[in-house]
Structure 1
Amino acid sequence: MKKLLASSIVAATAFAGVSAPAMADLSANVGFASEYYYRGILQKESSASAGIDFEQSGFYAGTWAADVGDGLEYDIYAGYGMEFGDFSVSGGVTGYYYTGEFDDTYEEVNLSAGWKFISVGYSVGEWDGFGESEDYDFIEVTVEHNGFYATYGEFGDDFDGDYIEVGYGAEVGGFDLGVAGIFSSDELSDQEDSKGEPTESEAIVFTLSKTFDL
């Protein structure tokens, strides 16, 4: 697979008595990545992106698009999230679509939970395109502290492969800057050894983005 789906945010609503602010928030974002990686898989070098998000009382919805060379990837997502003390939970759905022949449709359900500096996400979905259909799941664990983070992610079901990502992000002059090292298994890699066989890959990625309130 050339591409694997965008992250999500989702939520459980079973915690009675916890209320979220009623204020609505509409924002837009633009960004650039020296290499667009998602879940350890290279999508495109030098990729620009843009999106718009709406949030109110824990509910969220949005869309995001990125240049993947052969057309655009565009994602549509919605869900609900809440926080109570040091804990957070969320649940939602995400769809990943393409205007060209780079890849085809992914649709998934996303669940996540977090406590202080650690979070766990689980997604289950289906890739449907080019006359085929495959099921997959994905689990990731992230720890973060003062802008530094480390993530381990692994695919299951019809998909295989895992990766580690370590990085740092900070806001400078109203812009969000980030750098990350990504280490992918041979199942996710776009690199080959001298015999033409897939091999583990390493990459350094720089990102720049800006968010605007609307």
Structure 2
Amino acid sequence: MIKKSFKYLLIISVNFIVLVILLETWVDDYELTFNQGIYFYELLQLIGLSIVLLFLLRIMVAVMRVLKFNAKQSRIITSIAVTLLLSSRFYIQYTKRICHNNHAYKKFRKELMQKVKPIKSGWEGSQANNLCLEEYQYILQTKSFPKIPNNARNISYEYEYEGFLPDYSFSLIYDVPIASNVEIIDYKKNTFSKTQTFEIIENVKRVTYTEFLW
């Protein structure tokens, strides 16, 4: 029985290893910085998939034997097909992310991460200085940071969070042309607050936005 089951365990194990290799390939420094926990979350999904496949293939093979479908090679081919079919979402998703992270945006992400540094306080988070608009907007694809005007430049931010509790603080500084309209914000409700002010420095308005939850 163990010898018979080994073939199906091998199919599931090889599938798991290949998917983990693909996962390792697309999870880079950017993902680990702006999408915390992504590796652990994806790994849990792969483990769950493998457990489901283990039971499913076991049931499928048992049914095939009851139906006297005894061709060993056909059972193995069917098991591989079922494994690949149920894993196809991960293969497609991971392949797309490898193409995006490791090819199309590899240089861009690498240069961006040279500007992004970890927070040095006791909390977790990141900070960056002198970002261009394209770099900040790219971060917005992953993080729900506030949107800024399309004419913003010289962008800096600092984001830190507690980790276990929802407490966080976020500060953002950027420059806009002096003729730009800047909304003054002073809002507070319970433990949440946000403010926005500006000062004129030479020929630009320097906008400072802060947001806190404690």
TM-score normalised by the chain length of structure 2: 0.30
Decide which structure has greater strand share. Answer: 1
Decide which structure has greater helix share. Answer: 2
Q: Indicate the structure whose relative CO is greater, using CA pairs within 8 Å and at least 6 residues apart.
A: 1
TM-score normalised by the chain length of structure 1: 0.30
Max Rg structure: 2
